[in-house]
Chains A and B, each alone.
Chain A
Amino acid sequence: MAKSKIENNVRKLRFLKDEMTQSELAKLVGVSRQTVVAIEKGQYSPSLELAFKLAKVFELKIEEIFYLEDE
């Protein structure tokens, strides 16, 4: 089975959401700014709970934020 990686559009969505800062997003979803940075860089795949929180902030479905990319 091909290895896959979870990618995301958080950075783009943050920009489209009135140029929201990483700190603002971090506060809204209850994590540190470093965790938002790690998610945007693809260094960390968030839990389902955090993914739902992010989806709620951006008013989108989870699959519109996160997607699988084959390596």
Chain B
Amino acid sequence: MSYQERRSLFNLVVSIIITVVFIIVIRGMYLNDRFDTTNMMKFWSLILIIYIVYSIVTRIVITILYRIAGEIRDEITGDKEDARDIVDERDKLIELKSERIANYFFMFAFIFAAISQVLDYSISTFFVMIIAGGFIGEICSYITQIVFYRRGV
């Protein structure tokens, strides 16, 4: 497995872990009445903002730790992984193509979320659809990256 494949797989696993931990923590807080749920719009907006900030911060920290672990591994084995510092045109092309898939998922999730409001579903349905669409899109983009790295672009 190449460095790029490992990186995509790592991002995939991290993404799942971050989201699962977030859901467990927020669900626990919700069940303990830690949130004001009288205004659901405000509640879900807060959840969305917390999720965005939380996922960005944890991702940065985990990426730094992953890099440090890689450098330590290089020092121990004495074998420098050249691909780590190089992001070439193939990487950018694969990233673009996989991001396009993630964007499609998010776009459809947004459309279905809007339809849910037209059909008088709750505001929770709207936000759950948007968050789920973003999450599934992200997962699909990492899987697509692995497939592109394996099969070719």
Query: Which residue numbers of A lie inside 8 Å of B, CB to CB?
Result: 23, 26-27, 30-35, 38, 41-44, 46-47, 49-50
Contact = CB atoms under 8 A, between A and B. Distances in A.
Contact of A31 (B3, B86, B151, B153): B86
Contacts of A27: 82
Interface of B: 2-4, 82-83, 86, 88-91, 149, 151-153
Contact of B82 (A32, A43, A46, A47): A32
A32 B3 CA distance: 10
Contacts of B153: 38, 43-44
Given A43-B152, A43-B153, A33 B90 contact: no
Contacts of B2: 34
A23 B91 CA distance: 17
Contacts of A42: 152
Q: Identify the 5 closest CB pairs spanning chains A and B, nearest first.
A: A43-B152, A31-B88, A32-B83, A32-B86, A35-B90
Nearest to A50: B89
A58 B88 CA distance: 20
A68 to B, nearest CB: 17
A30 B88 contact: yes
Contacts of B4: 32, 34
A47 B152 contact: no
Nearest to A26: B82
Contact of B91 (A30, A32, A41, A46): A32
Contacts of B86: 30-32
B152 A41 contact: yes
